[in-house]
Amino acid sequence: MAQKPSIPKGTRDFSPAEMAGRNWIFETIRSVYRSYGYSEIETPSLENLSTLLGKYGDEGDKLLFKVLNSGDAFSGIDYSEYALGGGAYNSNALSLRLSEKGLRYDLTVPFARYVVQHREEITFPFKRFQIQPVWRADRPQKGRYREFYQCDADVIGSSSLLNELELVEIIDKVFRRFGLNVSIRINNRKILTGLAEICGFPDKVVDITVAIDKIDKIGLEKVREEMLERGLTEEAVAVIEPVLLLSGSNAEKIDAIAKLLGGGSPSGIVSEAGLKGVEEVKELFSYIDGASISNEVVLDLSLARGLNYYTGAIFEVKSLDYQIGSISGGGRYDDLTGIFGLPGVSGVGISFGADRIYDVLKALDKFPAGLGETSRLLFANMGSVPYIIPVAEALRERGVPVEIYPDQTKLKKQFDYADRKGIRFLSINGSDEEAAGKVNIKDLENGEQRLFPAGDIDAILEFIGL
Amino acid sequence: MAQKPSIPKGTRDFSPAEMAGRNWIFETIRSVYRSYGYSEIETPSLENLSTLLGKYGDEGDKLLFKVLNSGDAFSGIDYSEYALGGGAYNSNALSLRLSEKGLRYDLTVPFARYVVQHREEITFPFKRFQIQPVWRADRPQKGRYREFYQCDADVIGSSSLLNELELVEIIDKVFRRFGLNVSIRINNRKILTGLAEICGFPDKVVDITVAIDKIDKIGLEKVREEMLERGLTEEAVAVIEPVLLLSGSNAEKIDAIAKLLGGGSPSGIVSEAGLKGVEEVKELFSYIDGASISNEVVLDLSLARGLNYYTGAIFEVKSLDYQIGSISGGGRYDDLTGIFGLPGVSGVGISFGADRIYDVLKALDKFPAGLGETSRLLFANMGSVPYIIPVAEALRERGVPVEIYPDQTKLKKQFDYADRKGIRFLSINGSDEEAAGKVNIKDLENGEQRLFPAGDIDAILEFIGL
């Protein structure tokens, strides 16, 4: 009758050691968010499907996990209505008939819903952060999970670029605390709009950005080809190409792109939107230059992530020491809450990719030493346990995690327990120690062993180094 | 087109103020668990339905949230096979055909699954804690949610009663830290088995315990009636009744129940199981008497919660200052992992009811002052912002949460922002302060205002009291 236990593909158990690393990541991000005045919220895992559907494109809709209505969900339905013939059914329509709720797909749409629903009680500008799992019915593969945490911060209700600066500072500080060197890439959606305008294809901004976003992966020649395949002319490509070749400092790139968008490109077209984007980038970099950012911040004109809703700044962060793709990103969106009835509210946000950051920290051995330590001291169980209980209790009150081995069993087994759990100090006390009112403690790291009066908690604390 | 946003019934958004309270609860519980050497794990929200089904009784099975298989879940099914006539369908069978996964219902079954699945890498006795949400398709009502957190700790792989002591210590310490007076109730399943034996209805232990568990609510007379309705004879009830009337100290109750189970009841029957239960209770209370427990610990022979799988100690905690039912509970189970292929492993665990504890703390105003504070200091935005950025940054580096108002707007609006967010210190700096290299800070609580050199972070820290 016994089942062989397993978990759904794309999901994970987290062991104590993994939890220690993950909690450190979350706490680091949380404390930096808090230091900038961001407040934490949580939203339910289950949202109404009407909240989620249509927000992530057709592909996203398919990746939503839908939850069956409870009770007698299946009765009163005429299944023949949904039949497509040959045993096939209209799954989309049927699933909506059978489920009203879904698991959240990201933290951004629930946040937009939250802002609209609670707008009367929110103080704007609203700086919130949120660290919770999300679910996607994606095909699982290495590094891609069906359930994973997002760590988002957003400011909503302010269009000041100081918010962008603050998010760059936060990114910089978080990775500094992780001990990771990163490259913070910045672009602006308006510049991408401008590129489409000056090349004469203002309606092809998505095609252009999808193509140029790949330049790091496939190179300039293939990007050219892809733009042509996507319907651009040779002349249009000739306008875009110099932008992709821009190099030099951020200031030099800003000057050059300003000229191209201001009528200096082969087409001679001027893009007002594009010039607005340049102004924004210029202002943001002037703030960045005045702040103490220790990681490199680079204007990357091919950066286009999340084009669906970004309208201003676009951020992306890459590890410089370990190849793994983007480990953080974000941007500004001007009308996220419009769909829920609150139009014209501007917001900007970032998100940290906890799973990838975990992989990088692990690969580069950057987790702090002692992170996974559970207990500092194990009292072996030699039968004289009641005598030990108050000592253990006093140590715990002083902040030391302490265990008493529960079973009176072979010392070898108790020793192995301390060893496998990485407990550094072992205290073995028999009737002699009890009679003398003493506690014997051994440092398993260097073999040093000492005897303390059971009541001398200060001396014990000094010995065990906490 | 705008939707009026809402969330599924029985779910909740948590605002920053609520999160502050909830995080304090979770962190308090977490830190006490850790001080006893418990390690944190997490399991996925989604479990295979085969893991969950049949573990919570028929009623529990119905309360599982089932997740629709992704992709084309509905095709290839002959719906007529499931038709019951009259437009009704066999929902249970169809839902299992359409969904393989469900949301976890508690943390205990996933923990049992985890232990079996990871037994090779676990060091036993395994002390784990887990703080995660669970989902139940229960009818929502006041204080009952469809998504809520559980905070469990369990020790598995040790039958020593020192584990029970430790869990009582943990309960005591957690509620002491919360500033709540509680009554810790203890019983033992073997004593309940014994009662069924000595009254001559060994197979009616569930009926008896369901009835006597209600004594606080319905009184002795109704419990008598219910036992008779459930098939007990007057003679059997006459055996049980004196047990329910036992009073006095724990030691006196232990002596009395030992006599009744040892042949001293009207039936004269001796229950070996019951006497074993008395021995366990006696040993546990001897440990408790030697430990420094500050809340009352009471032997409550009518306590029967979670009878489905408890086999030894049973715990329940009630608030003494606020009527709200059980706020923590647990017990020992001897074969939780058997169903997953690892029989004979004994475990004991407890769980804190975070939602009820939150309600009690709120009602009794026990949350620490300043818990919801976001930022300590707001720099108003008078245009001279770049000058302020390094000051704000230096304060954050010293651990002070600090904000710069992002938009250069009316001072009234910025002041209101500080007021509504409960930010105590406001710094307003114009071109004069900038020219003089000074920072002006006002304590909004008492109106005191002072001017500091922008670089004198120590003086600022002293003034703002952090």
pLDDT over 60 (residue A382): yes
**Which one of A20, A375, A406 has the shortest CB-CB distance to B160?**
A406
Residue in chain A nearest B408 by alpha carbon = A160
The answer on A393 and A307 residing in a single domain is no
HSE on the CB side for A366, CA within 13 Å? 19
* Mean pLDDT confidence for B403-429: 95
Cβ-defined contact of A95 to B68 (cutoff 8 Å): yes
Indicate which of B1, B3, B103, B292 best probes the interface with A, i.e. most A CBs within 10 Å of its own CB: B3
Cβ-defined contact of A341 to B42 (cutoff 8 Å): no
- Which residues does A183 contact at the CB level (< 8 Å), separation at least 6? A295, A296, A298, A317, A318, A320
The answer on B383 and B284 residing in a single domain is no
Tell me the C-alpha to C-alpha distance, in Å, between residue B29 and each of A443, B35, B354: 29, 10, 10
Cβ-defined contact of A67 to B62 (cutoff 8 Å): no
* C-alpha–C-alpha distance, residues B252 and A196, integer Å: 87
Nearest CA-CA distance, residue A267 and chain B, Å: 38
Residue B381 lies in a domain: yes
CB B290 within 8 A of CB B313: no
pLDDT at A466: 66
Portion of chain A with pLDDT greater than 70, in percent = 98
The answer on A315 and A190 residing in a single domain is yes
Residue A272 lies in a domain: yes
- Name the token pair of A460: 């014990």
* Mean pLDDT confidence for B366-375: 89
How many CB atoms within 10 Å of residue A407? Answer: 16
Residue window 164-183, chain B: list those with CB within 8 Å of chain A.
165-166, 169
Chain B residues whose CB is inside 8 A of the A91 CB are 71-75
CB A326 within 8 A of CB A353: yes
* C-alpha–C-alpha distance, residues B161 and B159, integer Å: 6
Q: Which of A355-364, B74-83, B419-428, B431-440 has the weakest average pLDDT?
A: B74-83
| CA-closest candidate to residue B154, choices B291, B347, B418, B21 | B347
pLDDT over 90 (residue B85): no
Q: What is the pLDDT of residues A30-55, one digit of tens each?
A: 999 999 999 999 999 999 999 999 88
Q: What is the pLDDT of residues B223-264, one digit of tens each?
A: 999 999 999 999 999 999 999 999 999 999 999 999 999 999
* Chain B contact present for A132, CB below 8 A: no
HSE on the CB side for A116, CA within 13 Å? 24
Residue A439 lies in a domain: yes
* Mean pLDDT confidence for A75-91: 84
pLDDT at A249: 96
* Mean pLDDT confidence for A84-109: 89
The answer on A271 and A193 residing in a single domain is yes
Indicate which of B46, B120, B286 best probes the interface with A, i.e. most A CBs within 10 Å of its own CB: B46
DSSP structure string for A179-226: T--EEEEEEEHHHHHHHHHHTT-GGGHHHHHHHHTTHHHHHHHHHHHH
**Which one of A79, A399, A421 has the shortest CB-CB distance to B79?**
A79
Q: What is the pLDDT of residues A279-319, one digit of tens each?
A: 999 999 999 998 989 999 999 999 987 666 799 999 999 99
Chain A residues whose CB is inside 8 A of the B90 CB are 74
Q: Which of A450-464, B67-81, B99-113, B426-440 has the weakest average pLDDT?
A: B67-81
- Name the token pair of A215: 């330049």
HSE on the CB side for B305, CA within 13 Å? 18
pLDDT at B339: 87
* Chain A contact present for B341, CB below 8 A: yes
Last residue of a domain, one of B284, B312, B340: B312
**Which one of B67, B123, B386 has the shortest CB-CB distance to A421?**
B123
* Mean pLDDT confidence for B8-15: 96
Chain B residues whose CB is inside 8 A of the A408 CB are 160
* Chain A contact present for B40, CB below 8 A: yes
**Which one of B89, B100, B118 has the shortest CB-CB distance to A13?**
B118
Nearest CA-CA distance, residue B256 and chain A, Å: 26
* Chain A contact present for B244, CB below 8 A: no
CA B279, B280, B281, B282 torsion-angle sign: positive
The answer on A310 and A190 residing in a single domain is yes
Residue A215 domain boundaries: 183-320
HSE on the CB side for B3, CA within 13 Å? 19
* Chain A contact present for B92, CB below 8 A: no
CATH number for the domain spanning B381: value is 3.40.50.800
DSSP structure string for A49-107: HHHHTTSSHHHHHHTPPEEPPSSSTTTT--GGGGEEETTEE-HHHHHHHH-SEEE-S-S
CA angle (A169 as vertex; A168, A173 as ends), nearest 5: 120
| CA-closest candidate to residue B347, choices B359, B370, B331, B329 | B331
The answer on B298 and B195 residing in a single domain is yes
CB A464 within 8 A of CB A391: no
Tell me the C-alpha to C-alpha distance, in Å, between residue A273 and each of A188, A190, A196, A278, A285: 11, 6, 10, 9, 19
pLDDT at B1: 46
Residue B75 lies in a domain: no
pLDDT at A1: 46
Chain B residues whose CB is inside 8 A of the A77 CB are 87, 89
* Mean pLDDT confidence for A246-261: 96
How many CB atoms within 10 Å of residue B308? Answer: 11
**Which one of B66, B135, B403 has the shortest CB-CB distance to A68?**
B66
Taking all residues of chain B, what is their mean pLDDT, rounded to a whole number? 93
Residue B80 lies in a domain: no
Q: How far apart are the first and last CA of chain B?
A: 49
* Mean pLDDT confidence for B277-298: 95
* Mean pLDDT confidence for B267-276: 97
pLDDT over 80 (residue B63): yes
The answer on A412 and A310 residing in a single domain is no
* C-alpha–C-alpha distance, residues A226 and A234, integer Å: 12
HSE on the CB side for B440, CA within 13 Å? 15
Rounded to the nearest angstrom, the gap between the alpha carbon of residue B67 and the centroid of all alpha carbons in its chain is 25
Residue in chain B nearest A375 by alpha carbon = B37
- Name the token pair of B173: 């310490």
* Mean pLDDT confidence for B47-61: 91
Indicate which of B24, B28, B39, B117 best probes the interface with A, i.e. most A CBs within 10 Å of its own CB: B39
pLDDT at B76: 80
Which DSSP category does B346 fall into?
A: -
* Chain B contact present for A72, CB below 8 A: yes
Q: What is the pLDDT of residues B144-170, one digit of tens each?
A: 899 999 999 999 999 999 999 999 999
**Which one of A14, A98, A101 has the shortest CB-CB distance to B8?**
A101
- Name the token pair of A314: 């676009």
B35 in the Ramachandran plot: left (φ > 0), alpha (ψ -120 to 50) or beta?
alpha
Nearest CA-CA distance, residue B291 and chain A, Å: 6
Burial A244-271 (b: 16+ CB within 10 A, else e): eebeeebeebbebbbebbbeebebebeb
**Which one of A13, A65, A421 has the shortest CB-CB distance to B41?**
A13
Chain A residues whose CB is inside 8 A of the B87 CB are 75-78
* Mean pLDDT confidence for B443-454: 95
Cβ-defined contact of B47 to A401 (cutoff 8 Å): no
Taking all residues of chain A, what is their mean pLDDT, rounded to a whole number? 93
| Total count of domains within chain A | 2
Q: What is the pLDDT of residues A140-163, one digit of tens each?
A: 888 889 999 999 999 999 999 999
pLDDT over 90 (residue A257): yes
The answer on B302 and B196 residing in a single domain is yes
- Model confidence band, residue B333 (pLDDT cutoffs 50, 70, 90): very high
The answer on B287 and B196 residing in a single domain is yes
Helix (H) or strand (E) holding B66: strand B66-67
Cβ-defined contact of B2 to A34 (cutoff 8 Å): no
Q: Based on C-alpha coordinates, what's the Rg of chain A?
A: 29
Nearest CA-CA distance, residue B71 and chain A, Å: 7
Last residue of a domain, one of A301, A320, A339: A320
Residue B460 lies in a domain: yes
CB B269 within 8 A of CB B200: yes
Q: What is the pLDDT of residues B196-221, one digit of tens each?
A: 999 999 999 999 998 998 888 899 99
Chain B residues whose CB is inside 8 A of the A406 CB are 125, 155, 158, 160, 162-163, 166
CATH number for the domain spanning B195: value is 3.30.930.10
Rounded to the nearest angstrom, the gap between the alpha carbon of residue A283 and the centroid of all alpha carbons in its chain is 27
pLDDT at A364: 96
Q: Based on C-alpha coordinates, what's the Rg of chain B?
A: 29
Which DSSP category does A386 fall into?
A: H
CB B149 within 8 A of CB B11: no
- Model confidence band, residue A196 (pLDDT cutoffs 50, 70, 90): very high
Chain B residues whose CB is inside 8 A of the A404 CB are 162, 166
Residue window 371-410, chain A: list those with CB within 8 Å of chain B.
374-375, 378, 381, 385-386, 389-390, 393, 396, 399-404, 406-408
Residue A436 lies in a domain: yes
Cβ-defined contact of A417 to B123 (cutoff 8 Å): yes
Residues forming beta bridges with residue B438, ordered by sequence position: B453
Residue in chain B nearest A75 by alpha carbon = B88
CA A22, A23, A28, A30 torsion-angle sign: positive
State chain A's maximal CA–CA distance in angstroms. Answer: 96
Strands of B387-448 (E only): list them: 402-404, 425-427, 438-443
Portion of chain B with pLDDT greater than 70, in percent = 98
Residue B273 lies in a domain: yes
Last residue of a domain, one of A254, A285, A320: A320
